Amino acid sequence: MTSPRRDERLIVALDVPTLDEALALQAKLGGVVTRFKVGLELFVTEGPRAVEAIRARGGRVFLDLKLHDIPETVRRAARCAAATGAELITVHTAGGPAMLAAAVEGARQGGDAAVLGVTVLTSLDAQQLAEVNTAPQSLPDLVVKRAQAARQAGCAGIIASPKEVAVIRAVIGPDLLVITPGVRPKGASTDDQKRTASAAEAIAAGANAIVVGRPIRDAQDPRAAAQSLLDELACCDAE
Question: Between 139-152 and 165-172, two packed helices, what is the crossing angle to 10 degrees?
Answer: 50
Instruction: Please report how close the Cβ of residue 20 comes to ligand C5P at its closest, in angstroms.
Output: 19
| Alpha-carbon gap, residue 96 to 149, rounded angstroms | 8
Name the catalytic one among 28, 37, 66, 194. 66
The answer to whether 216 touches 226, Cβ cutoff 8 Å, is: yes
Nearer of residues 41 and 52 to ligand C5P, judged by Cβ? 41
* Position closest to ligand C5P via CB: 213
Nearer of residues 42 and 107 to ligand C5P, judged by Cβ? 42
Residues interacting with ligand C5P, by CB under 6 A? Answer: 13, 15, 37, 39, 64, 118, 121-122, 159, 181-182, 191, 193, 211-215
Nearer of residues 82 and 216 to ligand C5P, judged by Cβ? 216
Q: Which helix (H) or strand (E) holds 46?
A: helix 40-46
Instruction: Please report how close the Cβ of residue 98 comes to ligand C5P at its closest, in angstroms.
Output: 22
Known catalytic membership, residue 163: no
Q: ∠87-112-199 over CA atoms, to 5°?
A: 25
Distances (CA, A) of 227 to 6, 184, 191, 215, 230: 10, 14, 21, 12, 5
Instruction: Please report how close the Cβ of residue 178 comes to ligand C5P at its closest, in angstroms.
Output: 12
Task: Enumerate the active-site residues.
Answer: 66
